[in-house]
Amino acid sequence: MAITSVRTSSITDPQRFQSLAQATYVAPLPSTIGMVLVSPTSITHSGTSATLGANGQVTFTAVTSVSLNGVFTADFDNYVVNIRYATSNNGPNVGVRLRASGSDASGSDYARQYLGADSTSLLVARQTSQTIAKVLVGASAQRSGEHFAIYGPYLAQPTAMRTDSANGYLNAYIRSAVGTHSLSTSYDGFSLIPDSGDMTGALQVYGVRS
């Protein structure tokens, strides 16, 4: 089909042209984009001690559990937890339970898929119908650093989780795990619970705003 005509438009009003020429771009404030530090309204723990700092950081010493309340809100869909810690026993998993109004969701609604790399060896594992998502993996006195993402915990829909871990167990060890919680429920917090022994470390939670 041949083009028989072309229509163009132009700005003929001098005042309008001057207004457009003088317009400036205003960048969004840093607090409205990217990762934003969020602070729980309160924390609870079992064990020696846990403290909520003014900067939102939660530090804990020799705890058998630590829980964050009021950290998930309608302000963000997804969250990232940066955590460093060491466990008192050799290599126990650290489980995650979602939490609402100060109570853990402890039904058999969690699942996990795990992959670990040690030198040239790979370890894999899968669990379903669990009462906890064992997505964090400690390494005794060898401190672990983990990037832990939680997708849609405040939304009334199933929740997904993922962790990537680096730790000093056997010199260096890479661990990755994903977890799911199948209930369509809104949660405002979470608990971390080691399989055995206790853990010591610190964490901060960030909301991800698009």
Residue 89 per-residue DSSP state: S
Q: Which of 102, 186, 88 is nearest to 139 (CA)?
A: 88
Report d(CA 131, CA 111) in Å as an integer: 9
Q: How many CA within 13 A on the CB side of residue 198?
A: 14
Does residue 81 fall inside a structural domain? Answer: yes
The model's pLDDT over 84-93, given as tens digits with 9 standing for 90+, comes to 998 887 667 8
Does residue 101 fall inside a structural domain? Answer: yes
Does residue 131 fall inside a structural domain? Answer: yes
Does residue 8 fall inside a structural domain? Answer: no
Are residues 189 and 70 in contact, defined by beta-carbon separation less than 8 angstroms?
yes
Percent of the chain with pLDDT over 90: 61
The model's pLDDT over 182-202, given as tens digits with 9 standing for 90+, comes to 999 999 999 999 988 899 999
Does residue 5 fall inside a structural domain? Answer: no
Number of domains in the chain: 1
The domain that holds 119 is classified in CATH as 2.60.120
The rounded mean pLDDT for the chain is: 85
Tell me which residue range forms the domain holding 160.
32-209
- The answer, yes or no, to whether residue 10 has pLDDT greater than 70, is no
With bands split at pLDDT 50, 70 and 90, how would you rate the model's confidence at 119? confident
With bands split at pLDDT 50, 70 and 90, how would you rate the model's confidence at 38? very high
Does residue 26 fall inside a structural domain? Answer: no
- The answer, yes or no, to whether residue 25 has pLDDT greater than 60, is no
Does residue 20 fall inside a structural domain? Answer: no
| pLDDT recorded at residue 7 | 47
